[in-house]
Each structure stands twice: as structure tokens, then as C-alpha cells.
Amino acid sequence: MTTENIPSGGETEDGQLFKMVGHSYDKMGERYHRFRNNEKFIGELEQFVGLLPPSGDVLDAGCGVGKPTSEYLAKQGFKVTGVDISGRMIELAKQNVPDVKFHQKNILELDFPNNAFDGIICVYTLWHIPREHHANIIENFHRMLKDDGILVLNTGVYESDGMSRFFGEPMLWSTNDPKKTLGVVKSLGFEILQEGILNLGGERQYWIFAKKK
């Protein structure tokens, strides 16, 4: 992995990577959102909603500007909490979806109480986090979910680690092999409701829908 343009200093390499991702989204996140196809996974959001209890508590982990996920869930009557590492994205999310509670947080350090949520959705997010941490993140999701709570996440379709320019800013891309991700989810005792590679908006991602048992 190249570390060009990652902030230097006394931080760990992971700390520098997280700071870089946050800074990059601070700079280009609004522009990225304008070009993003926000309708490409509405079907998956509908499926998620169909698995949740009415008016349940839901965490949008990696909420971006609050659209489409937090906004869609709030309109369906859910009590939504959104988190993102980018301060600018959180500012925009609060403007876009004022009825949702948004917090600037590192997804690796979420400290919500045990059994806090009926559902957790983490999409278009994990691949910006070093893949050696993905299992710990998913384990923490399991802790925060209520019994029978629903987890939805997506990742890349093959194992990879690297850096590239994304809308002109440096960005981390880090993904485990889908079989490893699935193995982690199963090892925690989740019931797998659906898993596989989906082609959405011309992009291929690996998706998992699972229930905490």
C-alpha cells in the first residue's frame, strides 16, 4: 500500500489513514454526492425496511450526507442514528435530514450501548477502513444489535489493499475476500438471510443481509 499524501506525525499508520479518509471526504464529499447515483440501491433499502420492526432504532454506519439511507429510513418512521468520520459530511447530513441524530465518529470506535439497535446498515463504507479491522467492526455491530436485529453491509468483490485518487483526493480501498467476510458474520452466530454479489448502477459489490440470533 502506498502512503503518499497521508498526513504524517506521531499517529499510528491506522490513525493517519482514518484522518486521510476524513479529510478527503471533507474536501470532496459534497461533490461526490452530486455525481452519485442515489437510486441504485433503493431496492436493498426497501428489503432492509421489510425486515425491521415498525418505528425501530436503526444505525446508519457511514451515513455520508444523510442521503439516501438515513433520509429513506427516517421517512419510513424509523428512529435513525447516523455516524460518519467526516465532519463536513455530518454538517451536510444535519441540514439534509434534520430529524436524524448525526455524530462524527470513527466507525472503529463506536460505543453505543449493547442491544441498542433493531437494525444496522453499513454500505459503501467498509472499503475505506483497513481490512484487518473489519472483523472487529462487525463484532461490535453484533454487540449493538438487539436479538433478531438485522445487519446489512457491503464490501468489494475480491481481496485488495491500495490507494488511489477519488474525486481528486487520496483514498484508501481495503477489502477482504467475500468468503472471509461471510465467515466472520457466520462465526458471530448471525443467521444469513441473503448474501452474494450484486451489480448495482454498473458497480459490483458483495452484500450480506443477516439476523442476530
Residue 33 confidence (pLDDT): 77
What is the model's pLDDT at position 144? 98
Alpha carbon distance 178, 196 (integer Å) = 9
Identify the band that residue 39 occupies on the pLDDT scale cut at 50, 70 and 90. Answer: confident
Could you name the CATH architecture of 13-50+75-165+182-211? 3-Layer(aba) Sandwich (3.40)
Task: State the pairing for strand pair 79-84/57-61.
Answer: parallel
Cβ proximity of 102 and 59 under 8 Å: no
Measure the CA–CA gap between 20 and 13, rounded to whole angstroms: 10
Instruction: Report whether the peptide linkage leading into residue 68 is cis, meaning its omega lies within 30 degrees of zero.
Output: yes
Q: Please state, in angstroms and rounded to a whole number, the distance separating the CA atoms of residues 176 and 99.
A: 35
Give me the residue spans of the domains in the chain. Answer: 13-50+75-165+182-211
Q: Does the pLDDT of residue 166 top 80, yes or no?
A: yes
Please give the model's pTM, rounded to 2 decimal places.
Answer: 0.91
Report the pLDDT averaged over residues 130-143. 97
Give the chain's mean pLDDT: 92
Residue 62 to residue 125: CA distance in whole angstroms:
6
Across 175-189, average pLDDT:
98
